[in-house]
Amino acid sequence: SQTIHQWPATLVQPVGSPLSLECTVEGTSNPNLYWYRQAAGRGLQLLFYSVGIGQISSEVPQNLSASRPQDRQFILSSKKLLLSDSGFYLCAWSVQTASGNTIYFGEGSWLTVV
Amino acid sequence: EDQVTQSPEALRLQEGESSSLNCSYTVSGLRGLFWYRQDPGKGPEFLFTLYSAGEEKEKERLKATLTKKESFLHITAPKPEDSATYLCAVRRTYKYIFGTGTRLKVLA
């Protein structure tokens, strides 16, 4: 069965510091990968998605970036965090099957920028 | 512009009091409508996928239905453990667009 791992689960970072969140998927190959952010009381905002190694599509211009160095690894980065980057970050994956194409989420990473 | 709107924003029910959550959408080239349950501090948990108008799916006390403009999540005789935020999403090509959710609280 497929699983998704996301870390770290919680982090507190000062303004201006760098960020690296990692996500790996197991049990499938060539998944579509996603980074979402969920602000308090708001819906999920799509930040980046990737349909293959090295292929990154950005949905929201900001100081975040994403990379996909391996088929099942997705990394969210920032060189200098802003207060507004605080939130709940979710990695997700999907893959086309005979029964459809559903997106599945990791447990999330809480980021507080202070 | 693709859009997903969920209502109500919040809902309080007594245990056993059935109700429905609404998800209305505007998207060109719909390729699936999805329902998720999200507990506080957790990632969303997949519930249902619907692909065509008239389709229905059930799981325990939950039943999801789909029309050309909206979807309903019916909750029959809810229990306190059904308390959570319920999210609706639509898929368009590679993108999944989410609504802001309905926060459900079921009182014992």
pLDDT tens digit sequence for A12-65: 999 999 999 999 999 988 999 999 999 876 789 999 999 999 999 998 867 899
Examine the pLDDT at A11 and tell me if it is beyond 80: yes
List average pLDDT for each run of 10 residues in chain B, which is 108 residues long: 93 98 91 94 94 94 95 98 96 89 97
Cα–Cα distances (Å) from B71 to A57, A96, B23, B34, in that order, read 29, 23, 5, 9
**pLDDT score for A61:** 65
**pLDDT score for B7:** 97
| A7 at interface of B, judged by CB pairs closer than 8 A | no
| A89 at interface of B, judged by CB pairs closer than 8 A | no
Residue contacts between A and B (CB atoms, under 8 Å): 56
**Which residue is it, tokens 């819906």?**
A43
Per the document, the length of chain A is: 114
- Hey, are the CB atoms on B100 and A42 less than 8 Å from each other? yes
- Hey, are the CB atoms on A43 and B32 less than 8 Å from each other? no
What phi, psi does B97 have (nearest 5°)? -110, 125
Distance from C-alpha of B93 to C-alpha of B32, rounded to nearest angstrom: 10
Q: Which B-chain residues 71-100 have CB contacts (< 8 A) with chain A? A: 87, 89, 91, 94-100
Q: Tell me the per-residue pLDDT of A61-103, one tens digit each, with 9 for 90 and over.
A: 678 999 999 999 999 999 999 999 999 999 999 987 777 788 9
Cα–Cα distances (Å) from A58 to A54, A69, A77, B16, B62, in that order, read 13, 16, 13, 44, 35
Note the Cα B88 to chain centre separation in Å: 4
Strands A64-70 and A87-94: unpaired
